[in-house]
Amino acid sequence: MSTLFVSDLHLDPARPEATLAFLGLLAGEARRAEALYILGDLFEAWLGDDDPGEPGAGVCAALTALADSGVPVFLMRGNRDFLFGPRMAERCHATLLPDPCVLSLYGQPTLLMHGDQLCTDDTAYQAFRRQVRDPGWQERFLAQPLEARKAFAAQARAASRAHQQGVSESITDVSPATVEATMCRYGVQRLIHGHTHRPAIHQLLLDGRPATRIVLGDWYEQASVLRVDTDGFALGGL
């Protein structure tokens, strides 16, 4: 059996095919997995645990069914669903993970992250991230009516698209120096993350020792899945 990792599904009513593909994974291959880890951006936007809309309700029900079948489900907040709260995790019968966290994966310590913290050259984004991750900001935001939160999310997505078009790809990718410093800080030789939508397996050296950085892909076209077992890992699609 494998442990499955996904990230950056960006599930949204405008892209029902992605939701159907994920529901297929939950009802099929994931039922035979040892665990499922979702490393952020499961949804295009999450405006609070009080939002009953789709595809959230249907996906939460499918995650609950998977967890109740005996497959542990783990959720990590991303830059689009950073407002996941305890009620969301309870609803899905899932465990909410801190970002970052270290997992012993088949005997090897492995650092799990969404990945946006590694993009330190994008100073404008990092300033925005600090703002919206502030507990006081989140409390004030969640106190607003749902429609006001939806308007803010639409505005934020438009600003993000404009920002992405106005900077080079190297700025929005991870900083190699930050990657190395982060892996050294946590004492690991393997890192798994998403966020950048640049699926790849990178080999590097940390203090003269071989290390691996695995980048999960998105679900806009490829439905990226990382499968890890006792024999190693494979990054592919459905």
Residue 163 among known ligand-binding residues: no
Rounded-to-integer distance, Cα 193 and Cα 78, Å = 10
Burial class (CB in 10 A: 0-12, 13-18, 19+), 188: buried
Task: For residue 90, give the H/E element and its range.
Answer: helix 86-92
Confirm or deny that 218 is annotated as ligand binding: no
Q: Name the residue among 1, 6, 13 with its Cα closest to residue 73.
A: 6
122 in a known ligand binding site = yes
Is 164 annotated in a binding site? The answer is yes
Angle in degrees, 0-180, between the axes of helices 135-142 and 123-132, rounded to the nearest 10: 60
Q: Is 87 annotated as a binding residue?
A: no
Task: Consult the annotation and say whether 69 binds a ligand.
Answer: no
Q: Alpha-carbon dihedral of residues 3, 7, 10, 11, nearest 10 degrees?
A: 0
49 annotated to bind ligand: no
- 193 belongs to an annotated ligand binding site: no
Q: Is 160 annotated to bind ligand? A: yes
8 is in an annotated binding site: yes
Query: Does the N-terminal peptide bond of residue 100 adopt cis geometry, omega within 30 degrees of 0?
Result: yes
Enumerate the known binding-site residues: 8, 10, 41, 79-80, 114, 122, 160, 164, 195, 197
Enumerate the known binding-site residues for Mn(2+): 8, 10, 41, 79, 114, 195, 197
Enumerate the known binding-site residues for substrate: 79-80, 122, 160, 164, 195
